[in-house]
A and B are shown apart, each in its own frame.
Chain A
Amino acid sequence: MNTQYDVLVVGAGIAGEESALKLADMGFRVLLIEKEPSIGGKMILLSKVFPTLDCAACITTPKVSETARHPNITLLTLTEADSIIKENNGSFSVTLKKHPRYVIEKDCTGCQECETVCPSIVDDQFQFNLVARKAVYIPFNIANPRVALIDIENCMLCGSCEQKCPSNAIDFSQKEEIIQVKVNAVIVATGFNLFDPTLIPRYGFGKYKNVITSMQMERELAPTRPFNNILRPSDGKTPDKIAYIFCTGSRDQTCGNAICSQVCCMYSTKQAQLLMGALPMADITMYYINIRAFGKGFNEFYMQAKDMGAKYVKGKVASVSEKENGNLILRYEDIATGKVTESEHDLVVLSVGLLANPAITSVFKDETLEIDASKYIKQPELLQSPALTSIKGVFVAGTATAPMDIPDTIMSAGAAAAETSGYLKQLS
């Protein structure tokens, strides 16, 4: 592997992919690293996207495979930046940690024979724990690379997969690799974290089976969905009275996130439209504070959801309790009447917010990558050069800077590519 690159892009979600592709098209040599076993970030796991209702997988896979195949992009999955140190000449000395896959990437054909014999069954994080997977597994159907890996913490080391693999791709002797590279610029495209709804115990997530997150509903609605139907977890019943609780973990100082997550109103509205298509008889009620349908075509999309029959109730839900049959009682202040009200639903979806993911800051050793009050990467020249950070030569793209939707992410990533290219041209 080459040890000199023009740019290191950290994170291969849509922001990292877009920045990497633009720079690679301009002729720069890009090293793109991703800590997960597949690239594609969160978008590749979505069902459809608002307000166009395009199938997320269909529109993102071309970008994913273009990224994986571009001659100017070197892609490393299961790889994290361990340290990034600025040299005297302005370039960066980067230490990468490549975690073992325990599968020889070039030999694995993705046949999934190994999964059939693995005895260890664990929650499938890529299906947001709705179903289980094996300890040896392909992350998801449209993963890239579509290659198995072994989750060694849950592996019993029985060796069944090794015996079963028709191409001898299993390799338990793999070790963590330390890779040293030199780059002239870094783009931070590390995305966001999803809000953990167990931090709001009064909504009952983790305690009541029929309280799920919006990401779990995304999976239920996705083309590569786990059940091929919309089911509620407690008894597999098809729900017919679904509630959405907006602003779960957003605009809420009690859980440490004062800002609005910018996408939840719209993704919930999109899910409501998809659910009304999938379950024409179901009632869908949206409990909201304000509807933030601000982008191109968003307000029209919101009005369309209302016209289709989604019921929007202005009122912040205070708490959720469970009945014996698994149904849930929501208690809220109905703003329209000014009264505290209760209503019963058979499935509750929490519209969870986006949180900053500032872990990358600890990787920069000699200079500080500053963050803002909301813990997103600080943009010191926000209204002049939004891709700049507190470190010269380090740029930022996408939801690493703030919550944002897909088009805003693509534009932010394009801006980061432009800024980086200008910087690299100036260096040479």
Chain B
Amino acid sequence: MKKKIGVYVCHCGGNISDYVDIEKVKDAVKDEANVYLLKNTLFACSDSSQKGMVDDIKTSELDAIVVASCSPKLHVPTFRGVAARAGLNPYNYVQVNIREQSSWAHSDQPTGATEKAILLVKAGIARAAESQALTPIKIPTTNATAVIGAGIGGMRSAIALADMGTEVYLIEKEMSVGGHVANWGNLFTANINGNELAASLHNEIKKRPNIKLFTNAELTEKKGSIGNFDIKVKSGNETLPLHIGAFVVNTGFAPYEPVSGEYHFGEYDNVITLPEFKKLIDTPASELVYKGKTIKKIAYIYCVGSRQDEEGDNKYCSRYCCTAAIHSSIQVKSKFKNITNLHFNRGIRTYGKQELHYEESSKNGDIYLQFSLDSIPQIEKKGNKTIVKVKDILTAGKELETEADLIVLVTGMVPRKNENLTNQLKIPVGRDNFFNEIHMKLRPVETVIDGVFIAGTCQSPKNILETLNSSMAAAAKANSILTKGEMSLEPTLAMVNPAACNLCDNCFEACQFDAIVQTEYEGRKVAKINVSNCKGCGMCTPVCPTDAIDLADFTNAQIESMIDALTE
């Protein structure tokens, strides 16, 4: 039982104190058993406040602290660090979330928010009183990664990792590397061809002995956890066992395929997608010809498969397509004579320096017409002519119509179907069905699965530059963890009291990680935890009929004391 507990109640600027009455919270908990010191702070996480806590712990010889601020997702490492610097075991610190769970959830009811905050803080104090010192488990790690997908992103991750001294297994599903980009010609913002870029990266891969490339390959098995995964890779007819420390998933996107009849795709023979158009203009010829017909007038229809608004549709913007279409329209005009480009768009999104392409195209005399989703362009055949009709926002809603030789549907990106991989690695997907990062702003290449990093367009639509940056960032993150050769694991694992165990099998069935094994204790068989497999999920503790299993840092004594505090 901890006797000298320090309690810190955070205002979070106004995020908490605008709704929760901090003084009332302090007043309500000041007489709780074992509370030795009680303070409020504008930002508990600020450096000065952290320094103050370190001083308090040292001078008042606190044996536990409670920080009532935001979600543990944000600041558990911060305040564990505070405890450690003050010489207090980090597991004698308890985080209480009075922001997400009180002030933000009940901003319409400040009184209720305050009452809830009081109870949560009381429960936190009770938990801290029952807290025990724990020591993280140190395990050796393997400085090797599996990079899944050898498009330009995956190849760039592999090169970066190899150069930083990490062994790389580069696993590609197809027979060749380079992904979509290998099929593309001239790329926007840099004067380079897609096939050259892919070939150049492939060449760099070949130069590095610490990259092993497997084509026609897939991940068939994954066991273990960060630092030490045992995987199997099937390449052709061979299956190889590999030992790695982390994954960099770089599986890319799939191009949106218009549904049959969407803008008469599949019905009219002169309606094609942007990737098809890019291929067409890359073929060496002096005249632009499609299916035997000379092309002079091209209508681009934007946002096909993106920015839709029906439930189940793709509500997101695919980010690269505006610039890619405009860049293609510049290419086609510089390569062939007498081309007219008509851009039927929903607001051009050539963000950043890509704006310069938009400007160039405008100077070329391209015509921009804008429509809204409730009035999309209509395509009709009149004899052998194709007519596009639009209600144009840019001319105050005038109904305009024009003939076009070729209709280019500016198609976006959709998430690739990777069921096998998603099941193996258990990476969560977001509402848009792309892989989800753990924190969109500051941890964009990490996932909730430790040791599984995501990069490139499997996370969300990106252009090539953005894909490269994220691929190298994921490489940096993986290397910075693995290069040390060892890491600390959370000690919040299950533990069996063998004297109380009757070996009933319940916990074996509840455990999803094969972490419970049999052992001998005083001549009888009992359950035991294999610490390298245990994830501390807690599934085994409630099913034990004799309460023989406890979860460190979430012990039965802690949970019961919290319930008592909440219901008193």
Whether the pair B441, A65 counts as a contact (CB closer than 8 A) is no
Distance of A323 Cα from B419 Cα, bound (Å):
62
Please report the C-alpha to C-alpha distance between residue A54 and residue B75 in the assembled complex, in whole angstroms.
14
- From B466, which residue of chain A is reached at the shortest CB distance? A408
- Within B476-530, the residues touching A (CB, 8 Å) are 476-477, 479-481, 483-484
Nearest-CB distance from B40 to chain A (Å)? Answer: 14
Residue in A228, A314, A407 whose CB lies within 8 Å of B444: A407
> Are B465 and A298 in contact, with the CB atoms below 8 A?
no
CB distance from A352 to the nearest CB of B (A): 16
Instruction: Assess whether B352 is interfacial by the CB under 8 Å rule.
Output: yes
Residues of A close to B45: CB separation below 8 A? 58, 61-62, 65
Q: How far is the CA of A186 from the CA of B163 in the complex (A)?
A: 18
Please provide the chain B residues from 395 to 409 with a CB less than 8 Å away from any CB of chain A in the complex. Answer: 395-397
Give A314's nearest chain B residue, CB to CB. B393
Whether B12 lies near A55 (C-beta < 8 A) is: yes
- CB–CB B315/A410 < 8 A: no
A413 to chain B, nearest CB (A): 7
Task: Please pick, from B74, B156, B355, B441, the residue contacting A258 in the complex, using a CB distance under 8 A.
Answer: B355
Q: How far is the CA of A65 from the CA of B42 in the complex (A)?
A: 16
Residues of A near B483 (CB, < 8 A) are 26-27
Say if the beta carbon of A110 comes within 8 Å of chain B.
yes
Closest chain A residue to B345 by CB distance?
A: A290
Interface hub of A223, A298, A406 (most chain B Cβ within 10 A): A223
Bound complex: CA of A344 vs CA of B190, how far in Å?
A: 45
CA distance A22 to B396 in the complex (A): 52
A164 at the interface (CB under 8 A from B): no
Q: Which residues of B contact A421 (CB under 8 A)?
A: 163-164, 476, 479
A340 to B98, alpha carbons, bound, how many Å? 51
Complex: A357 Cα to B387 Cα, angstroms? 49
* Min C-beta distance of A392 to chain B, whole Å: 15
Pair A224/B459 contact, Cβ less than 8 Å: no
- How many chain B residues touch A (CB < 8 A): the figure is 83
A146 to B474, CA, bound (A): 32
Check B432–A296 contact: CB distance below 8 A.
yes
- What's the minimum C-beta distance from A389 to chain B, rounded to whole angstroms? 15
Which of B355, B444, B470, B480 lies in contact with A251, CB distance below 8 A? B355
Known interface pairs A27-B484, A383-B190; A296-B460 also in contact (CB < 8 Å): yes
B68-99 interface with A by 8 A CB criterion: 70, 74-75, 77-78, 81
Query: Shortest distance in angstroms between A255's beta carbon and chain B's nearest beta carbon?
Result: 14
Interface range on chain A (Cβ under 8 Å from partner)? 35 or more
Residues of A close to B135: CB separation below 8 A: none
Q: Which of A329-353 contact B (CB under 8 A)?
A: 335-339
* CB of A241 closer than 8 Å to a CB of B: no
Q: Is A243 an interface residue (CB 8 A)?
A: no
0/1 interface trace, chain B 219-238, chain A, CB 8 Å (1 if under):
00000000000000000000
Q: Is the CB of A383 within 8 A of B464?
A: yes
Task: Please determine whether B13 and A335 come into contact, CB atoms closer than 8 angstroms.
Answer: no
Determine the distance from Cα of A51 to Cα of B307 in the docked complex, in whole angstroms: 16
Which of B46-54, B59-67, B265-273 participates in binding chain A?
B46-54
Provide the residues of chain A in CB contact with B394, threshold 8 Å. 335
A58, A418, A423: which contacts B479 (Cβ < 8 A)? A418
Q: Flag whether A292 is at the interface (Cβ < 8 A).
A: yes
Interface string of A341-383 (1 = CB under 8 A from B): 0000000000000000000000000000000111010000011
Q: Check if A411 is an interface residue, CB within 8 A of chain B.
A: yes
* B-contacting residues, A270-285, CB 8 Å: none
Known contacts A223-B15, A382-B189, A413-B473: does B442 contact A63 (CB below 8 Å)? Answer: yes
Q: Closest chain A residue to B159 by CB distance?
A: A422
Segment with Cβ contacts to B, from A137-145, A171-179, A231-239: A137-145
Residue-wise interface mask of B (397-435) relative to A, using a CB-CB cutoff of 8 A (1 in contact, 0 not): 100000000000000000000000000000000111010
Query: B441 and A59: CB pair below 8 A?
Result: yes
The reply on A130 being an interface residue by CB < 8 A is no
**From B164, B352, B439, B477, residue with most partner A Cβ within 10 Å:** B352
In residues 395-428 of chain A, which contact B (Cβ within 8 Å)? 402-404, 406-408, 410-415, 417-419, 421-423, 425-426
Compute how far the CA of A25 lies from the CA of B479 in the bound complex, rounded to whole angstroms. Answer: 9
CA distance A86 to B289 in the complex (A): 55
Q: Which of B46, B356, B472 contacts A61, CB < 8 Å?
A: B46
Q: Is B354 an interface residue (CB 8 A)?
A: yes
Q: Is the CB–CB distance between A296 and B48 below 8 Å?
A: no
A329 to B501, CA, bound (A): 79
Query: For the complex, is B353 an interface residue (Cβ under 8 Å from A)?
Result: yes
Expressed in whole angstroms, the Cα–Cα distance for A417 and B353 within the complex equals 24
Are A258 and B352 in contact (CB-based, < 8 A)?
no
Q: Smallest CB–CB gap between B11 and chain A, Å?
A: 8
Q: What are the 4 closest A-B residue pairs judged by CB atoms, nearest first? A: A223-B13, A414-B473, A422-B163, A338-B396
A binding-site residues for B, Cβ under 8 Å = 14, 22, 25-27, 49, 51-52, 54-55, 57-65, 68-69, 110, 141-142, 144-146, 222-225, 228, 251, 258-262, 290-300, 303, 314, 335-339, 372-374, 376, 382-387, 402-404, 406-408, 410-415, 417-419, 421-423, 425-426
Given A293-B349, A425-B163: 18 more A-B contacts, CB < 8 Å: A22-B476, A59-B441, A62-B75, A65-B50, A110-B48, A294-B319, A296-B459, A296-B460, A296-B461, A297-B432, A383-B190, A383-B468, A403-B352, A406-B442, A407-B441, A407-B442, A411-B473, A414-B475
Q: Could you list 14 A-B pairs, sorted by A, with CB under 8 Å?
A: A25-B481, A55-B12, A259-B352, A260-B350, A260-B352, A296-B432, A296-B461, A336-B396, A410-B441, A411-B466, A414-B445, A414-B477, A418-B473, A421-B164
